Amino acid sequence: MEPTTLTSITSGIFEQREQKRHALFSHIWKELIPKVFEDVPQYYRPGNIVASLGLWELWVWQFVRTIELRPSYRALDVCAGTNDVGIRLLQKEPDMTVTAIDRSKEMQEEGQKRAAKYHVHIDSIIQDVHQLPFADNTFDVITLQAASRHLQLDRVLPEILRVLKPGGHFYHCDMLKPSNRIVEWFYLKFLRLSVGLTALVFGSTDASRECGEYFKDAIHHFYTPEELSEVFRLVGFSNVTCKKSIWGGMVGYHNSQKPL
Ligand SMILES: C[S@@+](CC[C@H](N)C(=O)[O-])C[C@H]1O[C@@H](n2cnc3c(N)ncnc32)[C@H](O)[C@@H]1O
C-alpha cells in the first residue's frame, strides 16, 4: 500500500466538519438509523450486493485480505452488524479471539446465526460505540467496516485509539467521498438510485426508504481517502496508509497503528 498524500485537514477543520456532520445528521443517526437496522438484517448481504452491482463481496474480501493476524491476537470489530468481518477474520486465523460491538440487537442476532453457521465463536456486546466498554490497551487489532459515515468520528476514533494496544493496528474500510467532483456527482446519483432499487426489490420499510437521500448526503459531507488519512493522524494514529478502490476512492482501505 502507498502512503497517502498530505491534505489540508487541520484540527480546526476536522472539528468544524464533525460539528457540521453532527448538526446535519445527529437526528438521523439517533432515530432513523436504528430503525433501518431493525429492518435490514435478513437481506443485508443480498441487499448490499444488489446496491453495489455485485462489488460488495469483493470489497469485504479485499478488506480482510489487508489484515495481518496471529493466533494469539484479540480483535474488536466495531459496528460489527452481521459479523461479516469477524467471521472472515476467524476463517483466516481460527486461533484468535473476536469481540463484536454494535448497538443493533437485530443485526447482532443475525451475526450470531451466521457465526454458528460458519462454526466460529464471536463474543457480542450490544452498545453504542461512541464509548467503548473496554480497558485501555486491550486489543491487537480493531476493524471498522461500512459504518463510520454514521458516527461522530471525533468521539469514536479516540476511543478506538485508547483501547488499541501500543503497536496494534486499526483497519478501516468504508464508502468515502471521491476526490474527483465529477466522479462524486455520478457516484451519488448512482447511490440514490441503487438504494431506491434495493428498497423496492426487498420490500423495505418506510425507514429504509427514507434513508436514500441521507446515504447520498452522508457521503457528500464525509471525507475523501486522503482527508481521512489526515484525520487518523490528527487523532494520534501513526503509519497511516490508504489503498483506494477504482473510481477515485469510492471505497478506501486504511491501515494505521497506535504508536509504541
Ligand atoms: C452497514 S452496517 C455494517 C455492519 C458490518 N460491518 C457488517 O458487515 O455486517 C452498519 C452497522 O453500524 C451499526 N451502528 C451504526 N451506528 C452505531 C452506533 N452509534 N453504535 C453502535 N453501532 C452502530 C449499525 O447498527 C449497523 O449494524
Question: Tens digit of pLDDT for each residue in 71-104?
Answer: 999 999 999 999 999 999 999 999 999 999 999 9
- pLDDT beyond 50 at 160: yes
**Is 107 a pocket residue for ligand 1 (Cβ < 6 Å)?**
yes
pTM of the complete model: 0.92
Does the structural domain 11-257 have CATH classification 3.40.50.1100? no
- The mean of the pLDDT values for the chain is 89
168 CB less than 6 Å from ligand 1?
no
Mean pLDDT of 32-53: 77
What is the residue extent of each domain of the chain? 11-257
CA angle, corner 60, sides to 55 and 61, nearest 5?
Answer: 95
From the CA of 51, how far away is ligand 1's center (Å)? Answer: 17
> What average pLDDT score do residues 47-65 get?
80
Decide: 244 in ligand 1 pocket, CB within 6 A.
no
Judge whether residue 116 has pLDDT over 60.
Answer: yes
Residue nearest to atom 16 of ligand 1 (CA): 150
Q: Which of 118, 124, 127 is nearest to 98 (CA)?
A: 124
Kindly give the distance from the C-alpha atom of residue 257 to the centroid of ligand 1, in angstroms, as a whole number. 22
Tell the residue nearest (CA) to atom 18 of ligand 1: 128
**Mean local confidence (pLDDT), 203-208:** 66
**Contact criterion met (CB below 8 Å) for 49 and 59:** no
Higher per-residue confidence, 131 vs 249: 131
